Amino acid sequence: MSTTPENPDASAPNTNPQGKPETNPENKETKPETNPEPQSEAKQEARPDANAEAKPDNKPQVKEQANPENKQDAQPEGKAETKSEANAETKPVGETKLSKKAYVIMAVIAVVLGIFLFYSIQKRRHLAKVAAEASAPKIPVVRVSKPFQASDTAMIVLPGNVQGIRETALNARVNGYIKNWYVDIGDRVTEGQLLAEIETPELDQQLAQAKANLELAKSSMDRVNSVKIEGAVSAQQKADREGAYQSSLAMVNQLEAQKSFKRVIAPFAGFITSRNIDIGTLVNAGSTANNQLFTLAQTNRLRIFISIPQSFVPFIKVGSQAKISIQEISGKPVIGKVTRTAGALNADTRTLLVQVEFDNPQGLYLPGMYAKITFVTKRTSRPVTIASNTLVIRTEGTEVVTVTPQHTIAIKHVTISKDNGATIELADGLKGDELLVANPTLNLTEGMKVSIAQK
- Three-state DSSP string of 309-326: EHHHHHHCCCCCEEEEEC
What mean pLDDT is predicted for residues 171-182?
A: 93
Please say if the pLDDT value at position 75 is more than 50: no
- Write down the pLDDT at residue 294: 94
- Per-residue pLDDT for 35 more than 50? no
Q: Which of 292-296, 349-353, 394-398 has the lowest mean pLDDT?
A: 394-398
Helix or strand holding residue 135 (H, E): helix 77-135
CA distance 164 to 298: 5
In the predicted structure, residue 43 carries a pLDDT above the cut 90: no
DSSP 73: G
Higher pLDDT, 92 or 420: 420
407-455 confidence digits (pLDDT tens): 999 999 999 988 888 999 898 889 889 999 999 988 888 999 999 988 6
Residue type, 195: L
Q: Is the pLDDT of residue 29 over 70?
A: no
For 155, list phi and psi in degrees, rounded to 5: -115, 130
Strands 153-171, 370-378: pairing is: antiparallel
Provide mean pLDDT across the span 213-229. Answer: 82
Q: How confident is the model at residue 165 (pLDDT cuts 50, 70, 90)?
A: very high
Highest mean pLDDT among 136-150, 323-337, 397-411: 397-411
pLDDT tens digits, 303-358? 999 999 887 888 888 999 999 999 888 878 899 999 999 999 999 999 999 999 99
Compute the average pLDDT of residues 4-15.
40
Give the tens place of pLDDT for each residue, 104-130.
888 888 888 888 888 889 888 888 888
Give the pLDDT confidence score for residue 136 in this predicted structure: 60
Give the pLDDT band of residue 145 (cuts 50, 70, 90). very high
pLDDT band at 97 (very low <50, low <70, confident <90, very high): low
User: Average pLDDT in the 247-270 region?
Assistant: 92
Say whether pLDDT at 18 is over 70: no
Q: How many residues does the chain have?
A: 455
Characterize the bridge pairing of strands 451-452 and 141-142.
parallel
Whether 34 has a pLDDT exceeding 70, the answer reads no
Burial per residue of 404-439, b for 16 or more beta-carbon CB atoms within 10 angstroms, e otherwise: eeeeebebeebebbbeeeeebbbeebbeeebbbbee
What is the structure's pLDDT at 28?
41
pLDDT band at 14 (very low <50, low <70, confident <90, very high): very low
Domains and CATH numbers, the chain: 1-136 (no CATH), 144-151+382-452 (2.40.420.20), 167-282 (1.10.287.470), 301-378 (2.40.30.170)
CA separation for the pair 318, 303 (Å, rounded): 14
Percentage of residues in the chain with pLDDT exceeding 70?
77
CA 455 from chain centre, in angstroms, equals 22
Please give the helix or strand (H or E) that residue 372 lies within, else none.
strand 370-378
Q: Is the pLDDT at 150 greater than 70, yes or no?
A: yes
Eight-class DSSP state of 289? G
Residue 94: pLDDT over 70? no
CB atoms within 10 A of CB 162: 21
CA–CA distances in Å: residue 4 to residues 35, 40, 46, 61: 10, 22, 20, 6
Q: Tell me the mean pLDDT in the region 231-237.
A: 73
pLDDT-based confidence at residue 189 (cuts at 50, 70, 90) = very high
413 versus 36: the higher-pLDDT residue is 413
The secondary structure of the chain in percent helix, strand, coil, rounded to multiples of 5, reads 30, 35, 35
Which residue in 374, 277, 389 sits closest to 324, CA to CA?
374
